[in-house]
Structures are given as structure tokens and as C-alpha cells.
Structure 1
Amino acid sequence: MATDLNQRIAQMLHHRDAGLSKGDPVSLPLVSSTTFHLPDVQGAAFIYGRNGTPTWTAVEAQLALLENAETVAFPSGMAAISAALMACLKAGDRVLLPKDGYYVTRIFARDFLAGLGVQVTELPTTDYATADLTDYAVVYVETPSNPGLDVVDIADVARRAKAAGAKTIVDNTTMTPLLQQPLDLGADLVVAADTKAPSGHSDALFGHVAGRDATLMTRVRDWRRLSGSVPGAMEAWLVHRGLETLEVRLSRMCDSAAVIAARLAEHPAVLAVRYPGLPSDPSYSLARQQMVAPGFLIGMTLKDATQAEGFLERCAFMVRATSFGSTHSSGERRARWGDAVPEGFLRLSIGIEPVEALWSEIASALG
């Protein structure tokens, strides 16, 4: 991990220290108040709960250190995604979306952006490398793609998008800022669902937008205030606590995923494995170029839907859930949501269980 990122991770763990007075709580207090004492408006740190609260501010400070950029918190990943798109698009604009990316983003674009006069185009992630980006207002990237784990060169796409006059938005949910830094690679905005690994315990919906263009970030912040798409105090508090252990959890998750992916690739019951950390993976070289580590998600294809569902039913240490990034490992057959993947394709999210205990269960369930 880069030295400057290590420094910022350490700063994140101590970001409140300088503001503490004698007797103040070291752990972040949960402030649920929506109203604040205002004998005068000028100079007030907080005015009203839709504009900001002390608990959000603390989480935004953590995320800003990790992103090395201004960060605005939202009540979910989709709230962050929709805010970034609304901040960048107007009627008559064209937006490019990954055809194999998170399906809810595509639904939002088709059902709402298109109705507002935005032209929506979809391409597979791997086609971004050769796509003509002329006349697009926004090029939206998700890498690795969810659930297929295809990788695209962020720096190359951002450079070509900028030359064409487009903004680049990167969904960095699967990687987090600890494993990939899209803003350093030229992206204009980063969006992410902190519901996943940053929170890490499957108990808080949260998201954020980060960027280094002050004008653009003002539009993002204004969208949050005017639309009312604001996070709750409890959720912010939970994410703040989760972020403090993100590095150590990710380290374990990524190390375990590398071990398990390599073993799955050799298992006779497994037809195919996608994991950017495998030398045989199509994304391997590019992943090594732009990621700190290949992540904790694995794509595994079994013979058919019956075998895939049977595996999940038998594997005691694999929660059947439609999310990822938590302390517990989880798995889901993604074709049931309409993703363009084989019927036997499973997205596995590796947690922090001791790796040999987890592998023993996986091998038994496969057997």
C-alpha cells in the first residue's frame, strides 16, 4: 500500500484528536438532533439537520482523508450514484453506462434520466477500451464490474473522456479507496456504496461522492440538500466505526480471497473462476497496474442453477444474501436478478473467517 495512503489511514484513525478538550469522549458521539441553537445564524457550524450534522461531518472527514478529496455523504450507494449523475447531466446530454455493471444504476438511467431527456447508451465494460467517447457528457465506469469482475483502464478512459469533453464518474464500491484510487487516475467523481466493506457489518445503508472539482462538488452537495437525500445519524455513526477497522478487515478478506480463488480454479466441480488476482484471469495485468490488491469478490461458475443453489445451501459459512463486503462470507446466484451471466454463476464475497475453516466448508459443499 502506498506510503501516502498509509499516512492518511493513520490520520483517519486520529482525525478527531486535535479538537478534543479535557474530558471529551474519544469515541465519536452519536448526535441525532435535527435542530441546533441559533441565536445568530452567522458562524453557526450547524443550522438544520438537512444541511449537515456533527456525525455526518465526522464520517465525511474520514472518507475525505481516504479519497484525498472533498467527500459528501449520502444515505445509500444509489443515493450517491443518482446525485453524481444529476449533478453532471441535463436534458439533451448523452451518458455511457456499463451494460454489465450494477443493474440498479441502469434502471435509474432508463426509467428516470431518459424520461428527463438524457440519452442513455450501454456497453460491456471490456468495450470501453475501444469505445468512441465523442459527444458524451458523462462516461460512467464500474471497475471491476459487478458481478462479472471485468476491469477497464481508468486512466485511459478518463483521458479520452476529458479529450471528448466528458466527465468521468467511477463506481469504486467493490474496491474502496484503500484498494483503488480513481481520482488519482483522472476520474472527475467517485461514487461508492459504503454499505459494503467500509461499514462492514451489514447494518447500515450509506454512500458517498468524492471529487476534487470544487464547482462540481458544490452541485453534488446542493443536490443532497435540495433533494433531501440525507443520511441518518445512527447510520453515519456505524459507518464511522466501521471505517476504523476497514484496513485490517480488507487485508484479511483479500488474502483469503486469493487463497480460495486459486483453489477453486483447480477444483473439478468448478467450470470457471473470475478473480483479478489470478494470473490466468483476463484482468490480471490491468488489475496489478491500477489496484493495490485484487479485492475480496470471486466469480465462480458451476454446472447449472441447481448445483449453484445446492452449493449455497450446503455451505455453512456462506450467507445467502444480495450484498457483499461484510465480516461474514456470502454468496449469491446472480442470474436470478437478470444479470447476463450463466445460470450457475455465483458471486462470492469473502469475509474474515479463518481461511482454512472457510475453505473446508467450501470444499465440502462443492464435493
Structure 2
Amino acid sequence: MTEWGDGTRCVHTGSAEPVAGQPFLAGPVLAAPYHLGPGHLGADDFYGRAGNPTWRALESAIGGLDGGLCTVFPSGMAAITTLLRTLLSPGDVIVVPADGYYLVRTFLAELDVRAREVPTVGPWTPEVVAGARLVLLETPSNPGLDVCDIKEIAELAHAAGALVAVDNTTATPIGQRPLELGADISVASDTKAVAGHSDVLFGHISVTDEALWTQLQRQRSMGGAIPGPFETWMVHRGLGTLDVRLARQAENAAALVEVLHRHGGVADVRWPGWPTDPSHAVAVRQMRRFGGVFTFVLPSAEHVTKFVAESRLVAAATSFGGLHSTADRRARWGDPVPEGLVRFSAGLEDSHDLVRDVLAALDRALAGPVQ
């Protein structure tokens, strides 16, 4: 299936062979115990915490897109914390993005490990990765949208004996393929674009090493970090439209970024797909598409609040990648960014409607005093 296009792969990967009278996508299996034969060791399923055919169908689909062996989890944080607990022992060194998702750094602060924080843009030198067990990248970073060279860093880390994991949430499995670029692990919050409808929490890890995949499957069962079958089915259903959703979101992001670059009241517009963006040169080498997430800065937090209030199409919400356009003022969550930085997630609205609405809301928000 690797020779097929993204849309075909999103629709068909993980699908069972067609059977007359059966649905295209099998419904969720809601069992806790399963009937046992003379012995369970050769059976796929015997207890709901250890296995579920609904999980395996989605794991086959996402693993096919990632190019690896996939394990699904009930959230992105469940995925990445399971990964960190599986790989790290007390005293280990992990290189972690200083500008990445803040809860990962919070979690690491509570482990008996040594976290070496490095900005996504580096500098990436042998000294940075020396002695590390794991190098964790987040590219594009959240929320700054900086990009680092996965292939180059993977070669550097592997030479130092470290594994490389990439948080691929912003890019998605069809926007970027870290495993093909030399990373050992791709981890993501599928709550965002993969599920795509803002109605389910989910996450996954894909790896190239079967022994590590077996460890992750075991840790998921032992730790109880298991996704619900219905939520798993919902993600699989949403995955089928990932290609067309990302295409519209990127189209909307490009249209908005173009007008925002010309807007006098907006500063520091960032989107890896824009030709003059500081991340574009690296992004264009390793990303297959640029998605719908971009950032810009308004003069103050109050201006952001007024902008969202004046918009008819943009909702204030954290998370991204859904059908609706949303704006999130990231400083409220403790990210070290300007008070007026907006992480904007372009939805599936018509581009001309969205551009007109955003410009009108900005003009009203920036005109006169703010409360």
C-alpha cells in the first residue's frame, strides 16, 4: 500500500478484507473477558486490558502510515509518559526540547532522570547528545513552530548511542514521517488532527524495533493505559478523512498567513509553509505538508480576548487540528511566549469566509481601547 497516495492510504490502511454483508469498518469490540479455549497463549484476545481487535485495526492503519509498529493509548500524554517510563532508568540523561509541550518537562521533573533542555533549533552538537539515553524532538515545536533536522540529529544521536523519538503531533503521520528520516520512535497526540473532530482523546507510539514494540505493548497492559474501544473506533473513522482535512486546513492557513503578513497590527507570524519563515528551509526538506497550525502575536492578552470575541468563526479553545478554526493564547498555560501570542488552528471553513472574518475581527479588536 506504500505506493498509493495519502488519501487512499488513509481510507484503506488497517481495513479488513471485504465480506459481503459486513460494514466497511468493523464496529468497536466492547468485551472485557473473551471465551477461552484449552489455553489462551495462542489466542489474540483473552482479557480486555491485554488486547482488543479494535485496537489492532487502528494500530495497523496508523502503523502503515508511520512506517512502523504502532501501539495506541488513551491520550497523547499516556503515550509519551509510557514511552519515557519504558526507556528511562534512574540517572539516565534525556535531551528534551526547551520549547516543546510544557507537560512533558513537568513530568520529567518528577522522574529521577537528568533532563537536558535544548531549544528545537539547537545548537545540535556532539556535546548536546553525549551520554544521553534518549533524544526527544518536537518538530514543528508547539507552540513556536520551529523545525529541526530529524535526519541530521538522528545521525548525531545514534553516533552517541542514544535513541531518537519525535513528537509528530503537529505534522501528523502523512505530514511528516520521522521513522523514514532516521528516528527510532514517532509519538503523537491523535486527539488533534488524526481523530480530527474535537471529540476524543487519543495517542499512539510507532517504532521500528519489534522488541521495543513488545515492551510498549506490555507496559500498556501492565500500567492500564488502555484506550476505550469506542474511542479507538472513532479515531479510525476520523482517520479516513485526514488527507482531505489537512489539505483544506493548509489552504486556509496559507490564505490567512498571507494577509496577516501584510497586517500592520500583527507581529511575528510563523508557519513553516511560508517561504520566508525561519523554519521553511528545513521544513521543506523533511515535511510532506505543512498543516493548518500557525502563530502570530497581538499587542496584549486583552487584544487576543477581544479578537476572539469579535470573530464569528473562530473559537477560543486549546488543542488544534479539528474541523473548527480555533485560537489559543498560549501564555495562559505557562508557555514562555509573549502574552499576546496566538496559536491559530485553521479549520475547514471556506477560505474566503475565514479570511474576511479574521480580518474584520482583528480590525475591531485593534481599533480603540481594550478592556
Shorter-chain TM-score bucket reads over 0.9
1:9/1:72 CA distance change after superposition, 3 Å: farther
Q: Are 2:120 and 1:122 aligned?
A: no
Please state how far the C-alpha of 1:221 moved relative to its aligned partner. Answer: 1.2
- 4-13 vs 79-88, which moves further: 4-13
Please state how far the C-alpha of 1:233 moved relative to its aligned partner. Answer: 0.9
Q: Hey, what does 1:26 align to over in structure 2?
A: 24
- What code does the residue aligned with 2:310 have? R
Q: Hey, what does 1:277 align to over in structure 2?
A: 273
- What code does the residue aligned with 1:343 have? E
- Counterparts of 1:174-185 in structure 2, within 5 Å, are 174-185=170-181
User: Which consecutive residues of structure 1, in runs of 5 or more, have no partner in the other structure?
Assistant: none
1:142/1:18 CA distance change after superposition, 3 Å: closer
Question: Quick check: 1:8–1:65 contact (8 Å CA) kept in 2?
Answer: no
Please state how far the C-alpha of 1:23 moved relative to its aligned partner. Answer: 2.0
Q: Are 2:237 and 1:238 aligned?
A: no
- What code does the residue aligned with 1:285 have? A
What is the distance in 1 between the residues matched to 2:344 and 2:179? 27
Aligned with 2:197 (options 195, 201, 207): 201
Please state how far the C-alpha of 1:9 moved relative to its aligned partner. Answer: 5.0
Q: TM-score scaled by structure 2?
A: 0.94
Question: Quick check: 2:10–2:243 contact (8 Å CA) kept in 1?
Answer: no
What is the distance in 1 between the residues matched to 2:298 and 2:351? 21
Q: Are 2:155 and 1:159 aligned?
A: yes
- Secondary structure of 2:187's counterpart equals strand
Q: Hey, what does 1:136 align to over in structure 2?
A: 132
- Secondary structure of 1:125's counterpart equals coil
Q: Hey, what does 2:320 align to over in structure 1?
A: 324
What is the distance in 2 between the residues matched to 1:337 and 1:253? 25
1:197/1:17 CA distance change after superposition, 3 Å: closer
1:10/1:132 CA distance change after superposition, 3 Å: same
Question: Quick check: 1:9–1:65 contact (8 Å CA) kept in 2?
Answer: no
What is the distance in 2 between the residues matched to 1:139 and 1:32? 37
Q: Are 2:350 and 1:354 aligned?
A: yes
Question: Quick check: 1:161–1:167 contact (8 Å CA) kept in 2?
Answer: yes
Please state how far the C-alpha of 1:8 moved relative to its aligned partner. Answer: 6.5
- What code does the residue aligned with 1:271 have? A
- What code does the residue aligned with 2:120 have? T
Q: Hey, what does 2:182 align to over in structure 1?
A: 186
1:41-88 deviation digits (Å, cap 9, x = unpaired):
243221111111121111111101101111000000001111111221
Q: Hey, what does 1:14 align to over in structure 2?
A: 12
Q: TM-score scaled by structure 1?
A: 0.95
Q: Hey, what does 2:368 align to over in structure 1?
A: none
1:80-123 deviation digits (Å, cap 9, x = unpaired):
11111122111121011111100111111112x2xxx2111212
Aligned with 1:256 (options 228, 252, 262): 252
Question: Quick check: 1:136–1:165 contact (8 Å CA) kept in 2?
Answer: yes
Question: Quick check: 1:129–1:157 contact (8 Å CA) kept in 2?
Answer: yes
- Counterparts of 1:2-151 in structure 2, within 5 Å, are 4=2, 6-7=4-5, 9-15=7-13, 18-40=16-38, 41-111=40-110, 113=111, 117-130=112-125, 132-151=128-147
RMSD after superposition: 1.5
Tell me the matched-pair count: 361
1:306-357 deviation digits (Å, cap 9, x = unpaired):
1111111111111111110001010011111111111110000001100110
> Quick check: which one's helix share is greater?
1
Question: Quick check: 1:128–1:157 contact (8 Å CA) kept in 2?
Answer: no
Please state how far the C-alpha of 1:15 moved relative to its aligned partner. Answer: 4.3
What is the distance in 1 between the residues matched to 2:264 and 2:217? 51
Please state how far the C-alpha of 1:142 moved relative to its aligned partner. Answer: 0.2
User: Which consecutive residues of structure 2, in runs of 5 or more, have no partner in the other structure?
Assistant: 364-371
Please state how far the C-alpha of 1:168 moved relative to its aligned partner. Answer: 0.5
